[in-house]
Chains A and B, each alone.
Chain A
Amino acid sequence: MPQLDALIEQLECAECLDDLQGVIETLRDAFGVDHLIYHWVNSDGDQYGCGTYDMVWVERYIAKGYLRIDPVIVGCYQQFHPVDWKQLDWSSKAARTFMQDAIAHGVGNQGYSIPIRGPNGQFAHFTLSHNCSDEEWEVFKKQHRRDLILIAHSFNQKALEFEPGRKPEAAQPLSPREIEAMTLLASGYNRAQAANSLSISEHTLRVYVESARHKLGAMNTTHAVARALSRGLIVV
């Protein structure tokens, strides 16, 4: 299991787009897949990406205008549900030629893409590709889906910071209710005890903790508690 807390720290320390390239290589190794890419497309068809594909393939993708054929882009643009590449529409001749070309350039026979809709029509996808059997890929996806979704969005938020002319987004403060929930967890309460103490259900507590986790940019509850403590947002 990859050390995601550490990887998220590395991601947050990135200061330019070049740093993201280093992060994505580390992530690729951590997940043990052939390739990991982040690909940003704006409404004018401009693109930015980083990832581990062979540069020959990247240049070919651009030169051949595959952006207009790639089923991940064509099929997922401005959508928001993750897709296994096998679910995409490969029925056109152009798409099949594209697939054969991609496989010939070492992309792999399996893929999983998480589309992300950002502000002002921004669209990106965070994609893994690999060579393995369908069964192995199913197991991999089930095991890592949650982490991949979280990392995909963290990655996109970081990439947005580097967009020219963009003002940094103010950190979202935790609401009093989130602070209470995190304080109780930090004090060693389990979820049932914390929920009871706040007179809310465990389900509601889970949503508040999830919301706080996201605001803190953490990968899980333990990580979120540690961050809230180290930033002085909660005191126990």
Chain B
Amino acid sequence: MIRYVYGEDLHKFPRLARTMFEDRAAQFKSRHDWDVSVDEDGLERDEYDHDNPLYIIWQNADGTHGGSLRLMPTMGPTMVNDHFTHLTDGVTIKSPLIWECTRFCLAKGARPGVAAALMLAAGHIMEEFGVEHFVGVIFAHMVRVFRRIGSCPEVLGTVGEGREAISVGLWEFTEDTQRAVAKSAGLSIDLSKRWFEMAFGSTMTTEELAAA
């Protein structure tokens, strides 16, 4: 299932959080040798993780992490503005209508639908919270994966080569994208919306509230 968890609430999901930071260490440090810090417990965290970001996490049936991404408002510090403006034609991207998506991570052996499920969930965020664009830092080779699942980013710029190349990409929400990623994820939009409501509260009617 999909969980949406703010950094401050990760402690409520200890197994999920631990395996997420372990999988990030495996992906970014072990497999790609990024200059990221991994602590003595094998968890990869950076300064933005301390800024109460919002994580979208695929939780496997056994409670472990299957894949995740991290969202931050661009009104505060972001990775793109701090480190990657050479990939955005020098434009500092800052707006209440644009959020940043980083640390897109898939657990080793994650089932094929996980990437699509994460993008489906990210789409609910855009639709429900008035976010018009995501700007993200991704592995360039992931663009192919995103295209295949129906959520292809617009690439603003790329640095590096081969498996290590990094791109800054843009996403926006359309209903076509939503249908495509739902199909790739093998999930119904209704079910994924229920997970969204579980996290953010369903809109009760005022009568229900009064009766509560």
Contacts and interface: CB of A to CB of B under 8 A. Distances in A.
A204 interface: yes
A150 interface: yes
Given A211-B91, A214-B96, A87 B200 contact: yes
A-B residue pairs, 4 tightest by C-beta: A87-B201, A177-B89, A214-B95, A175-B90
B97 interface: yes
A215 to B, nearest CB: 7
Secondary structure at the A interface, as helix, strand, loop or mixed, is helix
Given A175-B89, A203-B154, A204-B156, A87 B203 contact: yes
A102 B20 CA distance: 41
Contact of B6 (A79, A88, A207): A79
Interface in B112-133: 125, 128-130, 132-133
Nearest to A77: B8
B8 A78 contact: yes
**Which of A79, A82, A119, A145 lies at the interface centre, i.e. has the most chain B CB atoms within 10 A of its CB?**
A79
B154 A204 contact: yes
Interface in B32-55: 52, 54
A205 B52 CA distance: 30
Contacts of B73: 80, 117
Nearest to B94: A214
Interface string A59-87: 00000000000000000001111111011
Given A81-B129, A86-B209, A215 B52 contact: no
Interface residues of B, number: 37
Interface residues of A, number: 43
B168 to A, nearest CB: 10
B212 interface: yes
Contacts of A146: 97, 130
Contacts of B206: 86, 109-110, 134
A88 B135 contact: no
28 contacts: A79-B6, A79-B52, A80-B54, A81-B200, A86-B203, A87-B200, A87-B204, A89-B201, A90-B209, A96-B212, A117-B75, A134-B205, A134-B206, A149-B130, A150-B97, A153-B96, A172-B94, A175-B92, A176-B90, A178-B91, A204-B154, A207-B135, A208-B91, A210-B132, A210-B133, A211-B94, A214-B96, A215-B94
Contacts of A210: 95, 97-98, 132-133
Interface string B125-163: 100111011010000000000000000001010000000
B91 A82 contact: no
Given A149-B96, A177-B90, A215-B94, 16 more contacts: A81-B128, A88-B201, A90-B212, A117-B76, A134-B205, A146-B130, A150-B96, A153-B96, A172-B92, A178-B91, A201-B154, A203-B133, A203-B172, A210-B95, A210-B132, A211-B95
Interface in B69-112: 73, 75-76, 89-98
Contacts of A201: 154
Interface string A143-156: 00110011011000
Contacts of B154: 201, 203-204
A153 B74 CA distance: 12
Secondary structure at the B interface, as helix, strand, loop or mixed, is loop
B9 to A, nearest CB: 10
Interface of A: 78-84, 86-91, 96, 99, 109-110, 116-117, 119, 134, 145-146, 149-150, 152-153, 172, 175-178, 201, 203-204, 206-208, 210-211, 213-215
A86 B205 contact: yes
Contacts of B95: 210-211, 213-214
B152 to A, nearest CB: 11
**Which of B8, B125, B206, B212 lies at the interface centre, i.e. has the most chain A CB atoms within 10 A of its CB?**
B206
A8 to B, nearest CB: 14
